[in-house]
């Protein structure tokens, strides 16, 4: 790698996203992931949630869905994973104090073999009483391969603000 290339890579590796970099209306999208039968079986085993709508194909055929559905919390967990692997989220890691609140809605079912991506939008940006911190509220939507929103998460995060310029 040339010195110029290595300088660019080092600059990117040192980049960070702070509270000021996330105005209301900022959006980005993650990569996608297919939810498999193995994922649903493993989640049921891990959590003990063996609801027949998730694990019993014959029972699920007779339901309003006509097939098995993924656990809602499995979908929300995959959303967290897809979000954490996204480049913008990785660039926020050094500025993130923590997630203060999560809310979740499931407007439609997610089926086995659905492929989801997460569309993320900043919907609120508020300073706190401490000038070195600020709140960001994200809305994260799991969108399937048919363009349908199957899960919506609200996440309120506490982030560092950039140090003020020296006077």
pLDDT for res 5 = 58
pLDDT in tens, 124-161: 999 999 999 999 999 999 999 999 999 999 999 999 99
Task: Report the distance separating Cα 150 and Cα 141, nearest Å.
Answer: 8
Full set of structural domains in the chain with CATH: 17-35+72-160 (3.10.129.10)
Tell me the pTM.
0.88
Task: Report the distance separating Cα 37 and Cα 41, nearest Å.
Answer: 6
> What tokens does 79 get?
């959303």
Q: Choose among 13, 24, 4: nearest CA to 122.
A: 24
Angle at 164 between CA 9 and CA 92, to 5 degrees: 40
Q: Choose among 122, 128, 145, 114: nearest CA to 17.
A: 122
User: Is the backbone of residue 105 left (phi > 0), alpha (psi -120 to 50) or beta?
Assistant: beta
pLDDT for res 165 = 54
């Amino acid at each position: 790698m040339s010195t110029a290339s290595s300088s660019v890579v080092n600059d990117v590796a040192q980049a960070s996203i702070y509270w000021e970099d996330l105005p209301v209306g900022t959006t980005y999208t993650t990569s996608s992931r297919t939810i498999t039968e193995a994922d649903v079986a493993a989640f049921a085993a891990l959590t003990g949630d063996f609801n027949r709508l998730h694990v019993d194909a014959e029972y699920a055929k007779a339901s309003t869905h006509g097939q098995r559905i993924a656990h809602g919390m499995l979908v929300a967990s995959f959303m967290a994973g897809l979000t954490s692997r996204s480049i913008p989220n990785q660039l926020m890691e050094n500025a993130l104090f923590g997630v203060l609140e999560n809310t979740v809605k499931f407007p439609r079912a997610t089926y086995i073999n659905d492929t989801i991506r997460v569309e993320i939008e900043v919907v609120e940006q508020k300073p706190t009483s401490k000038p070195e911190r600020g709140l960001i509220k994200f809305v994260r939507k799991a969108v399937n391969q048919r363009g349908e929103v199957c899960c919506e998460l609200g996440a309120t995060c506490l982030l560092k603000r950039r140090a003020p310029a020296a006077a």
